[in-house]
Structure 1
């Protein structure tokens, strides 16, 4: 499945659309093509502030448009610079609930010139759905996205 999506990601990033449009299309592609991806979004560092700001996303609207560094899974990744896979969100103390249906989350940081400038965030309504293949694929997505930022 992921191998089939790689050329589609490349065709989006290589297109003549705006960066915002490309990110939106990536979110929509991942949400529609990967059954356990129920919400897909990008968060970006908000200027010089120690917070993340919601960018393009696909899925239910969220109230979490600004996330302070250190808060929730996304905020922790902003500080750790490492992937964070949460098989069961209920087991996490520092979790910001976006929806009662969310069971698991994966967040992969996005680096430009070795600086963590944001992340891709995936919520799943399926318990423990994420594998190493998800991590590797999302690292690929972020690597391609970094080229257009």
Structure 2
């Protein structure tokens, strides 16, 4: 993957669109096209004015998914609670993993944080063990920085 071209294309994809859902839908499709060996990619978002600390399914590419995930549950809920990326090389070794798709064997979740508040997560699953590398993590964390700045802060 040519990282310069990848990020240039990502910026062009969202630069003129103010709608958050449209941008996240296109970003999930873009990531699905640019990452090999994944079977689910998408977003879980925190609903405004919902007193529950939970993530709700947002735009994604893949099989039907879990709709609501409380903070602290599963990989997504733990990444949101801790405000840190969680890279799981074998989901069967992650205590409390939520199996939306039995074919998923590894996962990476990056929280989306604006003004020190988690507003969502980027979640990607793979049907292979050990799919996500430290390099993947760094690229995806940069994608999330773009989302935080250019999608949520301009809306």
User: What TM-score, normalized to structure 1?
Assistant: 0.93
Work out the CA distance in 2 between the residues paired with 1:33 and 1:124.
Answer: 13
User: After superposition, what is the alpha-carbon deviation per residue over 1:116-145, rounded to whole angstroms, capped at 9, x for unaligned?
Assistant: 211100001111011111111111111111
5+ residue gaps in structure 2?
A: none
Work out the CA distance in 2 between the residues paired with 1:115 and 1:2.
Answer: 32
User: After superposition, what is the alpha-carbon deviation per residue over 1:27-70, rounded to whole angstroms, capped at 9, x for unaligned?
Assistant: 011112211222111111123321111111111121x1110111
Q: Which residue in 2 is equivalent to 1:6?
A: 7
**Cα deviation, residue 98, structure 1:** 1.2
The counterpart of 1:49, out of the listed 45, 52, 61, is: 52
Match of 2:36, SS? coil
The counterpart of 2:108, out of the listed 98, 106, 109, is: 106
Match of 2:45, SS? strand
- Mapped contact 1:13–1:145 kept (Cα < 8 A): no
Aligned-residue CA RMSD (Å): 1.3
The counterpart of 2:87, out of the listed 62, 66, 85, is: 85
What is the total number of aligned residue pairs between the two structures? 148
Work out the CA distance in 2 between the residues paired with 1:97 and 1:45.
Answer: 20
Work out the CA distance in 2 between the residues paired with 1:124 and 1:2.
Answer: 21
Work out the CA distance in 2 between the residues paired with 1:60 and 1:53.
Answer: 16
Q: Which residue in 1 is equivalent to 2:29?
A: 28
5+ residue gaps in structure 1?
A: none
